[in-house]
Chain A
Amino acid sequence: MSLDQRRAWAAAAAVPDPEVPCVTVADLGILRWVRMEGPDRAVAGVTPTYSGCPAVLAIELAIEAALREAGFDARIERVMSPAWTTDWITGEGREKLRAYGIAPPVSGSASKMSLFGEVSVACPKCGSQDTEKLSEFGSTACKAHYRCLGCAEPFDYFKCI
């Protein structure tokens, strides 16, 4: 990786997610790569979490702006394949989510989701495994709504896909 490419990656990777600002686009794994197309021209590959995620355009514009601010002529390429999976959220990203009050996805999404299959989601506040799902769909497309039966705190769970 050239120095310019590394600098461009660092600029793009630092962009926070607009819906979940505690994590960056790199933490979430939605910034797939940054390539150089000439001395000052950087291209960033971005993949959406969900097909209909309304934040996609905002994310792309923010990355483009960050690259321009770092002195690059910037372009965004939307990457559709392979499909994003929560397995791409980094370890650091998972810890940031937990600290922010969002339970990170329970790993192993590669396995086929069975009908009515339940996973055990730990409360991000107190760590209790005694939690219940209130709704399969939460405040954004990527989250479900849970409640902790230990400390009674409601919380978001980053769905595993």
Chain B
Amino acid sequence: MALFDAVLELADDHLVLGHRLSEWCGHAPMLEEDLALPNMALDLIGTARGLYTYAGALEGAGRDEDDLAYLRGERAYRNLLLCERPNEDFAHTILRQFYFAAFMVPYWSAAARSEDETVRGIAGKAGKEMAYHVRHCGEWVVRLGDGTEESARRMKDAVEALHIYVGEMFEEAASAGIAALPSRAGMRGEWEATVDHVFGLAGLSRPVVPHPQTGGRAGVHGEALGHMLAEMQSVHRAHPGATW
């Protein structure tokens, strides 16, 4: 079950963040971003589907991707708090994505050498996609951080608001001691190097957070996740077993 729990954590991260990004569809500040944000959402949700399907197979209790995504309540979700944070303004959304992608690129790169064939398959594909997210969002962090007075203020606000959730990414949680998955703590060096490079260009500095906010891996979430899941799961729960 240990690998099941660890794969489920990863799946929840991707689904929750993917759903958050999809909320921008039709509301982005410009047409290009209205395409970019849902495209990134598709990548995340596609990866989540593969992970949920694999988790269901590992569990062996007959649960498929839909059961795991739509029929678990908030307390059963194991996603990072960072992933569930509300979209707020464009700067918050971009920074949240940049932080997450800057972690997942080295993580998938290490997972692509896993002993587990399914993990290797998912990692090989997702790693390439996340490299695009780092690039796209990194460019925006620079553009906003080094932009107008207003854009710089918003970018700084986003760093202030989201940085307390960074530490949770490096917690091993369910993946502790699982040989098929890389050490999460081991990603810190590469994550900091990516962020420092971009922050240097953007005129931002990485705050020191002595006590990071955690709890997502234990199912203790912020208020925002319940509202998000209610919206995401309502159709499936109202029409169980519906097909078209």
Contact = CB atoms under 8 A, between A and B. Distances in A.
Q: Do A and B bind each other?
A: yes
Interface of A: 48, 50-54, 80-85, 112-113, 115-117, 134-139, 141, 145, 159, 161
B6 interface: no
Interface string B122-134: 1011101101101
Given A80-B121, A136-B132, A141 B43 contact: yes
10 contacts: A50-B129, A51-B50, A80-B122, A85-B128, A113-B128, A115-B138, A116-B135, A135-B36, A136-B139, A159-B132
B198 to A, nearest CB: 7
Interface in B151-174: none
Interface of B: 32, 35-36, 39-47, 49-50, 117-118, 120-122, 124-126, 128-129, 131-132, 134-136, 138-139, 194, 197-198
A138 B134 contact: no
B44 A137 contact: no
B125 A115 contact: no
A62 B128 CA distance: 27
A81 B132 contact: no
B129 A115 contact: no
A54 B46 CA distance: 9
A115 B43 contact: no
Contact of A50 (B42, B121, B138, B197): B42
Contacts of B42: 50-54, 141
A80 B40 contact: no
Given A52-B44, A159-B132, A145 B126 contact: no
A107 to B, nearest CB: 15
B135 A136 contact: yes
A28 to B, nearest CB: 15
A137 B128 contact: no
Contact of A113 (B44, B46, B124, B131): B131
A54 B122 CA distance: 17
A145 B31 CA distance: 12
Nearest to B142: A116
A87 B50 CA distance: 23
B94 to A, nearest CB: 12
The 4 closest A-B pairs by CB, nearest first: A52-B46, A51-B46, A81-B121, A80-B121
Contacts of B49: 51-52
B53 to A, nearest CB: 10
A29 B42 CA distance: 21
Contacts of B134: 115
Contacts of B135: 113, 115-117, 136
Nearest to A84: B125
B132 A145 contact: no
B63 to A, nearest CB: 19
Contacts of B128: 83, 85, 113, 161
A99 B43 CA distance: 28
A135 B32 contact: yes
